[in-house]
Amino acid sequence: QVQVVEAGGGLVQPGGSLRLSCAASGSIFSINAMGWYRQAPGKERDLVARITTFGATTYADSVKGRFTISRDNAKNTVYLQMNSLKPEDTAVYYCSARIVTAQGVMIGYWGQGTQVTVSS
């Protein structure tokens, strides 16, 4: 059994900052890529940022220069530092992780989502 749990969402004013975290726990052998996606009402879920085991990162054009993804492999945790937030960043943010279980099976897991609202 594997759990992926996000934390850190909330309400912030435009120009503000938030830090999201996502921790994986349970029957884990290793974790490959981890990432953050977001879904605004009426829209599809889109990639925000992604990071490999070795730290290579990918960002959506809309967040480059404002958001930073990082991970702590020892803690099976990925972070998303969000600065200079805009109202259009408002969405439910989901963590994703490609996990190799203790049984040797690679499975993609999603967190439950955390709401980020940018509004004055």
On whether the CB atoms of residues 78 and 96 are closer than 8 A, the answer is no
Residue 118: what pLDDT? 98
pLDDT along the chain (120 residues), means of 10: 94 98 94 97 96 96 98 96 98 96 92 97
Other beta carbons less than 10 A from residue 47's beta carbon: 14
pLDDT at 1 (0 to 100): 87
CA distance to 72, 82, 120, per residue, from 69 (Å): 11, 9, 25
* Residue 25 structure tokens: 């726990």
Contact 81, 68 (CB under 8 A): yes
Tokens of 19: 């830090």
